[in-house]
């Protein structure tokens, strides 16, 4: 009886050598698209399918307990809500409107029906708030832990979809809201978890941290921003949602658009609570904004002629400019220094990623 | 620090009390559809979305190591192939054509890049054979084991889609091919696994079992059948793919159509190898066909006027007739007896389900 876990080919490459993005690129490099309706495959926030009329936009995410969430501090209702929101965020990041979701869950028998009802109450709250329909999925067993798989399906207009590859030299780089707070909220929860594990009698000290903890446990997707784009007849030249951190997500746009970028530290919005908490943790606030991730704000580029459409709007911050690829992707600090922006900025800034978070 | 695993509400209902279908029904009962484009939500082989022109059909599946597959006897390439096929089968079961898939995988670090290449080689082989495009998905970590999440997206014409709820009294019940073989193939693999675990020097005895083992490890979806329907201008009144067993899947059609059914044992196709192997395992072949599952044949009903369209075609078996709901769902045995068909027929027939298989 062959055991295929033992009978590996002689060469064994550890998956970590390629990294998350390297691995999926490597595995999917030999998949040409054959159907004319497949307008966009792997490599953007969502796949794009042509129906002859409106486009269908599809995004999917797999959330694994112990990797993407920790039930020690994530209430199941919040987790259900967030699992929908992070997928809707991918649809909005295409400048499209989510309409349907499917949710499949695998769970071990440590979960009761009542616990699942909490999870689905959160899913329902998100479906209601964002006006999307739950149209499919199933529940199944898992030998250990909880796994949530969500697929979001949206509609968009052909000439309005915003891909990652449309940024041009001279475009302005915009951010829809403050960054770094979700990362700092997670650091607070991790600190309290460690204290609790060391002494279960210690009560959590979350006083005054509602904003930061809310950003990690119950993020929202920027539906309002997409509606504002439509109202102001603005179509971003490129767009992505900030799930991995400003550095990593800006690099996705730059690589796919074949351009460089310069970001002004003074133009990156950071909430006062995040500023304060970063200093408490002896972290540089801009590092948290660049590398933290999970803020689910939108990062987008606009043609300079469109500046008047965003200039006086609240919630939109102009953080920099697209430059030639040869100029690289750089941060211009408040102190007047220039740093290269790297996908894993946290390695270079001496900031360690929280346990269990994906790069 | 609240631990939400410990802080359950006072009432604790075990998920097994509701069963797989009961659980998803229970959890999703308060999800009304709000978008006009959501034509069909939970409860069929796939969700159906209106794009004003063609319909988009979406199906999703979550495959968990130790529950849905066992890497002791599932080569990764076969597993990749099967993970696509089982989803495409759901799209065909709507009488629609799959066009795109997304694949997300979560895996522990025991898997090498080379192992994943094998998995993706199987995924690619299925994509090529069925002419579907891989358009999205990602890879992520898992604390233990391999999890595969596949979403299939297809296109169908409004007047040709076959739902589960369209069967009418007098319709003929048809099956696209032989049943029970996948279940018996799994029993052989389980037997050899147990022998191997008891003594690793024992070589597996799979001589002459290619057909049965092929049915469980590398099933095919009935694309040819959908093409034949189109060619012969046949639209089934109801259709489902046989993934859970003829009993369970026939009951889905009957419940959703509000009808009963009578199945003739003599009309249920069983391959000679399956007949023989069932007897070797001291099982009743018809029980394996009714309750085994994973054959991925199509079960469909046709208007009696359409009988000439299927009568002389190979691979289509007329197995019974739709009757009034008050007559129940029954099996007419070769010996002249009448049995109730139940979803978990294996409990009543004294047949135990293979370990790890879902109900």
**Quick check: B10 pLDDT over 70?**
no
The answer to whether the beta carbons of residues A240 and A249 sit under 8 Å apart is yes
Contact of B280 with B129, CB cutoff 8 Å: no
Q: Is B109 in the A-facing interface, judged by CB distances under 8 Å? A: yes
Closest by Cα among B169, B217, B170 to B192: B217
Considering CB atoms only, which of A20, A52, A124 is closest to B139?
A20
Q: A138 to chain B: which residues are within 8 Å by CB?
A: 20, 24, 60-62
pLDDT at position B7: 46
Q: Is B5 on the interface with A (CB under 8 A)?
A: yes
pLDDT tens by residue, A129-163 = 999 999 888 788 898 899 999 999 998 988 899 99
| Span A75-99, pLDDT tens digits | 999 999 999 999 999 999 999 999 9
A182/A106 Cα distance (integer angstroms)? 26
Question: Considering chain A, what is the average pLDDT of its residues?
Answer: 87
Question: Cβ contact (<8 Å) for A116 and B15?
Answer: yes
Q: Is the pLDDT of residue A58 over 60?
A: yes
Do A135 and A167 contact (CB within 8 A), yes or no?
no
Q: Please judge whether B15 and A143 are an interchain contact, meaning their C-beta atoms are less than 8 angstroms apart.
A: no
Out of A58, A147, A195, whose CB is closest to B64? A147
How far is the C-alpha of B56 from the C-alpha of B333, rounded, in Å?
41
Whole-number pLDDT of residue B96: 93
Give the residue on B whose Cα is nearest the Cα of A103.
B60
Q: Per the CB < 8 Å rule, is B99 touching A49?
A: yes
Measured between CA atoms, how close is A307 to chain B, in angstroms? 33
Kindly state whether A18 is in contact with chain B, defined as any CB-CB distance less than 8 angstroms.
Answer: yes
pLDDT confidence of A19, banded at 50, 70, 90? low
pLDDT at A348: 32
Statement: residue B350 has pLDDT above 50: no
Cα separation of B135 and A37, whole Å?
A: 11
Percent residues over pLDDT 90 in chain A: 65
The band of A350, judged by pLDDT with boundaries at 50, 70 and 90, is very low
Q: For residues B137-141, give the mean pLDDT.
A: 84
- Pick from A16, A27, A88, A196 the residue to mutate for testing the B interface (most B CBs within 10 Å): A27
pLDDT digits (tens, 9 = 90+) for A164-211: 999 999 999 999 999 999 999 999 999 999 998 998 888 777 888 999
Is the Cβ pair B62, A140 closer than 8 Å?
Answer: yes
Cβ contact (<8 Å) for A112 and B358?
Answer: no
- Matching CATH number, A172-348, of 3.40.1280.10, 3.90.650.10, 3.90.79.10, 3.40.50.2300: 3.90.650.10
Contacts of B147 in chain A (CB under 8 A): 62, 64, 106, 147
Question: Which residues of chain A lie closer than 8 angstroms to B111, CB-CB?
Answer: 15
Q: Which class for B18: exposed (0-12), middle (13-18), buried (19 or more C-beta within 10 A)? A: middle
More confident residue, B289 or B205: B289
List the single residue in B with minimal CA-CA distance to A52: B53
Name every residue whose Cβ is closer than 8 Å to that of residue A256 and which is 6 or more positions away in sequence: A43, A44, A163, A164, A165, A238
Beta-carbon separation of A15 and B155 below 8 A = no
Lowest-confidence range among A251-260, B6-15, B286-295?
A: B6-15
- Among B220, B268, B223, B285, which Cα is nearest to B84's? B220
- Each domain of chain B, given as residue ranges in start order, spans 37-156, 172-348
Binned at pLDDT 50, 70 and 90, residue B344 comes out as low
CB contact under 8 A, A62 and B104: yes
Contact B99 A137 (CB under 8 A): no
Considering only A72-86, B197-211, B298-312, which range has the smallest mean pLDDT? B197-211
Tell me the ipTM for this assembly: 0.85
Least confident of B156-170, B192-206, B229-243, B263-277: B192-206
DSSP secondary structure letter of residue B144 = S
Nearest by CB to residue B15, choosing from A11, A51, A113, is A113
CATH number of A15-156: 2.60.120.10, 3.40.50.720, 3.30.1330.10, 3.40.50.1000?
Answer: 3.30.1330.10
Q: What is the pTM of this model?
A: 0.88
Determine the straight-line distance between the first and last CA of chain A, rounded to whole angstroms: 38
Q: What burial letters (b/e) apply to B238-268, b meaning 16+ CB within 10 Å?
A: bbbbbbbbbbbbbbbbbbbbebbbbbebebb
- The string of DSSP letters for B189-200 reads HHHHHHHHHH-T
Q: Looking at the partner chain, which of A8, A100, A104 has a beta carbon nearest the beta carbon of B49?
A: A100
| A105 interaction partners in chain B (CB closer than 8 Å) | 62
- Nearest chain B CA: its distance from A123 CA (Å): 10
Q: Which CATH class is domain B37-156?
A: alpha beta
Higher local confidence (pLDDT), A300 or A117: A300
Residue A72 near chain B (CB below 8 Å): yes
Answer whether B198 touches A (CB < 8 Å).
no
CA distance A133 to chain B (A): 5
Nearest CA in chain B to A144: B144
Question: Quick check: B46 and A193 CB within 8 A?
Answer: no
Give the pLDDT confidence score for residue B17 in this predicted structure.
74
Mean local confidence (pLDDT), A94-109: 91
């Amino acid at each position: 009886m062959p055991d295929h876990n033992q009978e590996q080919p002689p060469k064994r490459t550890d998956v970590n050598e390629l990294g998350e993005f390297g691995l999926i690129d490597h595995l999917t490099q030999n998949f040409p698209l054959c159907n004319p309706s497949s307008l966009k495959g792997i490599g953007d926030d969502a796949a794009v399918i042509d129906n002859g009329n409106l486009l269908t936009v599809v995004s999917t995410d797999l959330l694994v307990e112990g990797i993407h969430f920790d039930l020690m501090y994530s209430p199941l209702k919040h987790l259900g809500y967030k699992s929908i929101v992070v997928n809707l965020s991918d649809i909005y990041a295409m400048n499209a409107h989510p309409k349907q979701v499917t949710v499949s869950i695998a769970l071990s028998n440590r979960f009761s029906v009542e616990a699942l009802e909490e999870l689905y109450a959160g899913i329902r709250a998100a479906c209601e708030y964002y006006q999307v329909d739950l149209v499919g999925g199933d529940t199944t067993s898992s030998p250990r832990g909880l796994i949530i798989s969500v697929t979001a399906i949206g509609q968009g207009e052909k000439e309005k979809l915003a891909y990652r590859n449309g940024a041009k030299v001279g475009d302005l780089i915009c951010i829809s809201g403050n960054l770094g707070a979700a990362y700092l909220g997670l650091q607070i929860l991790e600190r309290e978890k460690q204290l609790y594990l060391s002494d279960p009698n210690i009560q959590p000290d979350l006083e005054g941290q509602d904003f930061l903890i809310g950003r990690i446990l119950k993020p929202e997707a920027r539906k309002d921003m997409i509606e504002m784009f439509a109202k102001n007849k603005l179509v971003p030249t490129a767009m992505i949602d900030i799930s991995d951190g400003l550095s990593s997500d800006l690099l996705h746009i730059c690589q796919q658009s074949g351009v460089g970028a310069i970001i002004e530290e003074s133009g990156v919005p950071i909430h006062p609570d995040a500023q304060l908490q970063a200093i408490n943790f002896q972290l540089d606030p801009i590092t948290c904004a660049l590398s933290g991730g999970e803020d689910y704000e939108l990062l987008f580029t606009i043609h300079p002629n469109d500046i008047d459409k965003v200039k006086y709007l609240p919630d939109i911050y102009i953080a920099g400019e697209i430059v030639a690829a040869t100029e690289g992707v750089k941060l211009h600090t408040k102190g007047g220094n220039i740093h290269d922006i790297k996908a894993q900025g946290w390695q270079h800034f001496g900031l360690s990623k929280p346990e269990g978070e994906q790069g």
